[in-house]
Amino acid sequence: MTNVLITGSSSGIGLEIAHFLEGDYKVFLSSRRASKCTNHFPLDLSNAKEEDFICLIEKAKEYFNSSVDVLVNCAGQYIYKEIEKTTSEEIEYLINLNYKAPYILSKLVISDMKKNGFGRIVNIGSISSIVGEANATLYSSTKASLLGLTKALALEAAPYGITVNQISPGFVKTPLNDILSDEEKQEVIDVTPQSRFIEPIEVAQLCKYLISDSAKGITGQNINLCAGLTLGC
């Protein structure tokens, strides 16, 4: 059975992906929240040191009794604030969580994937990395960095049977968007061509396809799952 490590798995998209893959894949989870599950390792990726990342990978491999075949980098956070109001702490926090953590985890699993001649890395990005978002410059730029990692690593890993892709959702019906008022949520619906939020299950279904053998020819790609939001009015 294929072994999958998912970060940010305690809520929202990560939790949905975990539920959707269980049964068909052997899944190991990581999130900030503690859990009594044997397939879970608590780790706050925003302030983790490299030895913490190494420990996470070792715990996953111990659970699998094998290597990590698939890495889903789902942990992330959103900050909505004008650029001049962002703090040094917020800058470090979002860079660490949205970009540095996926980079280090990819670095730690890639050797085994190359050795095995198989691997899948799926990064959960955002359409803000493609079109930009006013008052979310920090978020947009960290997700754009993640897309750069996706494309460059896909080229580097392609000769080894490894694919690296990014799913960039638009507004998804998750706790991350609870910060929006009812009026703001209606504004989102009004500017989205399909007049709706994306459901987390849609991201999970796409993720499952990208890690399947059917998608072995897809690598270095960014897929905007946004109900048409990137198309404009």
What are 206-220's pLDDT values in tens digits?
999 999 999 999 999
| Calpha distance 12→75 (Å, rounded) | 10
Give the pLDDT score at 133.
85
Structural domains in the chain, CATH included, are 3-226 (3.40.50.720)
Closest CA to 204 of 176, 232, 177, 172: 172
Given the residues 25, 63, 99, 139, the one annotated as active site: 139
More confident residue, 201 or 185: 201
DSSP letters, 3-41, are: EEEEES-SSHHHHHHHHHHBTTBEEEEEESS----TTEE
Residue 179 has pLDDT above 80, yes or no: no
CA–CA separation, 41 vs 56, rounded Å? 7
- What share of the chain has pLDDT > 70, as a percent? 99
Find the helix or strand (DSSP H, E) in which 195 lies: none
Rounded to an integer, what distance in angstroms lies between the CA atom of residue 214 and that of residue 209?
7
Model confidence at 138: pLDDT above 60: yes
Assess whether 25 carries a catalytic annotation: no
Stated pTM of the model: 0.95
Residue 38 scores a pLDDT above 70: yes
Residue 40 makes CB contacts below 8 A (sequence gap 6+) with 9, 28, 29, 30, 31
